[in-house]
Amino acid sequence: MVVRETEAAARAAADRLLSRLDAGTGDQIRQRSLDHQSTGVRRQAELRESSSGDGYIEDNLWTGIGRARSGCGAAIVGDPDQVLRKLNAYRELGIEAFILSGYPHIDECDLFARYVLPHLNHGPLKL
124 within some domain: no
Give the residue among 32, 37, 105, 38 at the shortest CA–CA distance from 69.
32
55 within some domain: yes
Residue 45, classed as helix, strand or coil, is helix
Q: How many domains does the chain have?
A: 1
Q: Going residue by residue through the chain, which has 127 residues, state the pLDDT in tens, using 9 for 90 and above.
A: 999 999 999 999 999 988 887 777 766 766 666 455 677 777 777 777 777 778 898 999 998 887 776 666 789 999 999 999 999 999 999 998 888 989 899 999 999 999 999 998 877 777 7
Give the residue among 53, 51, 73 at the shortest CA–CA distance from 2.
73
Range of the domain at 66: 2-119
pTM: 0.82
Evaluate whether 83 touches 115 at the Cβ level (below 8 Å). Answer: yes
* Residue 2 vs residues 20, 38, 103: alpha-carbon distances, Å: 18, 26, 8
Fill in the DSSP letter of residue 67: G
127 within some domain: no
CA distance 127 to 77: 27
54 within some domain: yes
Q: Which residues in the chain belong to E strands, given as ranges?
A: 2-3, 56-58, 61-62, 75-78
125 within some domain: no
